Structure 1
Amino acid sequence: MDTKMTDYKNSLYKELSRLTKGLGSEKRLEILNLLTQGPKPVEGISLATGLSVANTSRHLQVLKESNLVVTSRQGNFIRYSLASAKVAQLILFLFDIGEEQLAEVRTIEAEYDREAGVNQISLQEAVELSEQPDVLLLDLRPVEEFEAGHLPRAVSLPMADFHQKKTQLPKDRTIIVYCRGRQCGYANVAAQDLQSLGYPTFSLNRSFADWKWGKREEC
């Protein structure tokens, strides 16, 4: 084989392998999924993932070296965001493949839904039903993520305030709750809580990112 062509091919694969280094950690995958919801400072990522700030910074450095995330300055804060829309699509596509190819993933999701014992709803159904006046689409994410983008006609009630304000929700409306998608889990928790209080409730285990990038429609 021609040496020049071999060097060319090997160089390409070597550079592409930098991406797999960024993806090769469950915590880095969690960080990337979190950033599909919008930019965040290292402290916000640390709080959401349960990692120390130091560990979060190390993971972010790997992701930056892999060209999967970029930084920008807002006042005194450095904010991290996905490097491009295609990175967001890559992460969602990876989760799709996981659900299709890994029986363990499907089992984990099914058991979690079964234990919650709440009605599930697809993304398409939720968006369509939210047009009806007797349906309330509830976004459980932090306010800054809601403001960065949310499902059509959704109303913000961050999970941090949910337990204090849940009884103020109207009982004459069907409530659909969503958070950061299947990898989050808060939608089932909130739906279970509301259901126990007598609210007609559905859990939407998809996210704004799923809707924005048009990747998934199933429950």
Structure 2
Amino acid sequence: MDKEAQNYKNQLYSELARLGKGISSDKRLEILDLLTQSSKSVDSISKEAGISVANTSRHLQVLKGSHLVKTVKDGNRVIYSLTSKKIGKLIHLLVKIGEEELSEMRAIEQQADHEKGVKIISLEQAFSWRRNSVLLDVRPVDEYEAGHVDGSINIPLSELENNYDKLPKGKRIIVYCRGRLCVNSNQATRSLNEHGFDASSLNSSYQEWRELSYAR
């Protein structure tokens, strides 16, 4: 290989490595996953990811330097979003590869799914039962407003305990959150079943539901 060809190849791989740097952190992966749901401020990301605002800002600067996120100003706030919908697909693909290749990841998921009071429902089954069920979205309001399953109602997990009276006890409830990386749907399902409801956890995201809907 001549010097010009080698230099060409090296430059391209070096640029691709910038993307790799962006996703080479568990917290940055979590931030990207959060941004697949909706655009968010630093404070909102910090709260949902459970890290300080300072650390959140540092991770976001790395992600911005990797061209994985972009910003817009909203008054005094800076709002972050993904630079492309393909990044959301990349995160989804990483999860699928992890579930297929990492036995530790599968074990963590199975343990969460077998906790007392948790019933699991598949995406296909939930889709076929949708007309005879209550679809409960337990994500924060901003994520629900950015896009949700048609006909679903939104009660964030943090508010569920004070809103049991808004849900019917004589009808199946299908609970969903952000997908497989989020345990909130399992937690909400357990809480509902402990209070006499018939709830099942759907560990799939709104985006996955939409893809299945388009395929039908």
TM-score by length of 2: 0.94
Corresponding residue for residue 176 of structure 2? 178
Taking a change above 3 Å as real, the CA distance of residues 184 and 202 of structure 1, as seen in their structure-2 partners, is same
Corresponding residue for residue 45 of structure 1? 45
Shift in Å at residue 213 of structure 1? 5.1
Shift in Å at residue 117 of structure 1? 4.1
Q: How large is the RMSD of aligned CA atoms in angstroms?
A: 1.5
Does residue 130 (structure 1) correspond to residue 123 (structure 2)? The answer is no
Corresponding residue for residue 113 of structure 1? 113
SS of 2:197's equivalent in the other structure is coil
CA distance in structure 2 between the partners assigned to 1:65 and 1:168 by the alignment: 45
CA distance in structure 2 between the partners assigned to 1:116 and 1:15 by the alignment: 47
Shift in Å at residue 4 of structure 1? 0.4
Q: For the Cα contact (< 8 Å) 1:127–1:151, is it kept in 2?
A: no
Shift in Å at residue 73 of structure 1? 1.7
Shift in Å at residue 211 of structure 1? 2.8
SS of 2:114's equivalent in the other structure is helix
Identity between Structure 1 and Structure 2 (%): 50
Deviations 1:9-65 (A, max 9, x none): 000000000011000000000100011101000000000011110000000000000
Give the number of equivalent residue pairs.
213
CA distance in structure 2 between the partners assigned to 1:39 and 1:80 by the alignment: 6
Taking a change above 3 Å as real, the CA distance of residues 124 and 72 of structure 1, as seen in their structure-2 partners, is farther
Write out the 4+ residue segments of structure 1 that deviate beyond 4 Å after TM superposition: none
Does residue 146 (structure 1) correspond to residue 117 (structure 2)? The answer is no
SS of 2:115's equivalent in the other structure is helix
Shift in Å at residue 196 of structure 1? 1.3
Q: What does 1:41-120 correspond to in 2, within 5 Å?
A: 41-120=41-120
Corresponding residue for residue 217 of structure 1? none
Corresponding residue for residue 194 of structure 1? 192
Larger mean Cα displacement after TM superposition, 74-83 or 104-113 = 74-83
